[in-house]
Chains A and B, each alone.
Chain A
Amino acid sequence: MSLAHSAATILAKELKTEFRSRELLGTTVIFVLIVLVLFSFTFNPTSSESRHFGPGLLWLAFLFAGSLMLQPSFLREQTNDTLAALRLAPIDPFSILAGKMAANFLFLLLVELILLPVFAVLYNVAILPVLPQLVLVLALGTIGLATTGTVFSAVAAQARLRELLLPLLLLPVLAPVLIASTEATAGILRDPSELSLVWLTFLCAFDVVFLTAAWLFGEYLLEE
């Protein structure tokens, strides 16, 4: 209960500071829009090609969004060493990570939901009939993105060359999420009834493993 309360307090603070500045959300949406448009111009796919390649391009764009958006998660805490203030509070260290993971999950999901109609138009893909299934895959994939991204953001924030380090650490680790999310999305777009339980289970397992690791090693991840 105490963990949930502190995580919720940190989540509320993250939302308040981001929605006050809208810096991160605005920049990421514009960046990913450019990526999607560039992909569309480069490949100029037909409708059937879009169903085949579209999901991969879409998840690559989300992955880029993640590596851009998750970077400041802990970097922001360095301005006035506010991470020290959080660590001085009598709270479970995992609640700091959990609050930030929840905030990053919501930010990423918001970006994805904004970009989904753009993807549908640019790539001529009908997403409305498969929206519930798609949202499920988006949610599971985004939990994986937000969880690993937040953990590696905490690690990278304390290193030199931190701006370069996060994508270098994050992108290889997220390859399984990229593959599973792409396959699950492609299956849904091919046939709405083809929601692959195998890939969904894989995504769930990935999320559980990283959440458990963050819970077990949270204290060490946040140490100087």
Chain B
Amino acid sequence: MALRSISLEIGAGECVALVGHNGSGKTTLLKITSLLARQSKGQIAFFLGDQELSAEAVKRHIGMVAHHTLVYDELTAEENLVFFAKLFRLSDPIARARQALEPVGLSRRANDMARTFSRGMRQRLAIARALLASPKLLLFDEPAAGLDPEGQHWLGSTLGKLHASGCTIIMSTHGRNETQASVTRAIRLDGGEITHDSGPSGDPYGVLAMAAVRETVEGDAR
């Protein structure tokens, strides 16, 4: 069982960091939240204002950046985004795709195949895909993994802008990096259970610092 006794309420506009070592249940929690995985017990509910949303309606409001890029290597950057814009039934998919490529700095590579992109560029394309339908809830599974310091800096400022625009963000993260600058709440998972939660109004950096120290100590011990 990857998760146990999880009871969590996340409010609109929060930027939540999930921390914990590998196998602690961060990815499973994100997968259940994105409706990619089904929980064996319990329930998950999404509200827009006072109204509870159906699964299909929820998907319209979720953007996810996962371990993998979730884009097709055999399509160009623009073709990838046009394809997903059509699936989300966005009006004028080509214009939306071009618009989404601009803030991630890929406009000049719009017609290049995704397979020719570096890890950092793929991650930017993955973020453009996740933001395509202007989601209200963003889920990031270790978004800084594999990014160089410049990429991490860019990602940190992008997350800051998204949070400032009112997006709710839940991300799993490791160690200390620039993506944590906008975090308003930190939750530590251990063995599938929540061991620390700074809460919506508490100081998240205590939990983040504790997790980083523990990762360093465990890393040194290994």
Contacts and interface: CB of A to CB of B under 8 A. Distances in A.
Contacts of A17: 72, 74-75
Nearest to A8: B86
A21 B73 CA distance: 12
A87 B71 CA distance: 13
Contacts of B47: none
A84 B59 contact: no
B87 A82 contact: no
Contacts of B4: none
Contact of B89 (A5, A13, A86): A5
Contacts of B39: none
Nearest to B75: A17
B214 to A, nearest CB: 29
B60 A223 contact: no
B62 A13 contact: no
B56 A90 contact: yes
B84 A85 contact: yes
Interface in A4-42: 5-6, 9-10, 13, 16-17, 20-21
Nearest to A17: B74
Interface string A82-96: 101111111100000
Nearest to A91: B87
Contact of B75 (A13, A88, A89): A13
Interface residues of B, number: 30
Contacts of A21: 74
A81 B66 contact: yes
A176 to B, nearest CB: 33
Q: Is the interface of A mostly helix, strand, loop or mixed?
A: helix
B95 interface: no
Interface stretch (B30-38, B97-105, B160-168, B205-213): B30-38
B57 interface: yes
A80 B75 CA distance: 12
Interface in B70-86: 70-75, 79, 83-84, 86
B67 interface: yes
Given A9-B86, A13-B83, A81-B68, A88 B74 contact: no
A5 B93 CA distance: 14
A87 B35 CA distance: 9
Contact of A80 (B56, B70, B87): B70
A90 B75 contact: no
Contact of B88 (A10, A20, A79, A89): A89
Contact of A90 (B66, B68, B88): B88
Among B37, B62, B74, max chain A CB count under 10 A is at B74
A193 interface: no
B125 to A, nearest CB: 10
Contact of A88 (B36, B57, B79, B89): B36
B72 A87 contact: no
Contact of B79 (A16, A79, A80): A16
Contacts of A82: 70-72
16 contacts: A6-B86, A9-B86, A10-B87, A21-B74, A81-B68, A82-B72, A85-B84, A88-B35, A88-B64, A89-B84, A89-B87, A90-B59, A91-B87, A224-B31, A224-B36, A224-B37
Closest 9 CB pairs of A and B: A81-B68, A85-B70, A90-B59, A89-B87, A17-B74, A9-B86, A80-B68, A90-B60, A80-B69
Interface of B: 31, 34-38, 56-57, 59-60, 62, 64, 66-75, 79, 83-84, 86-89, 129
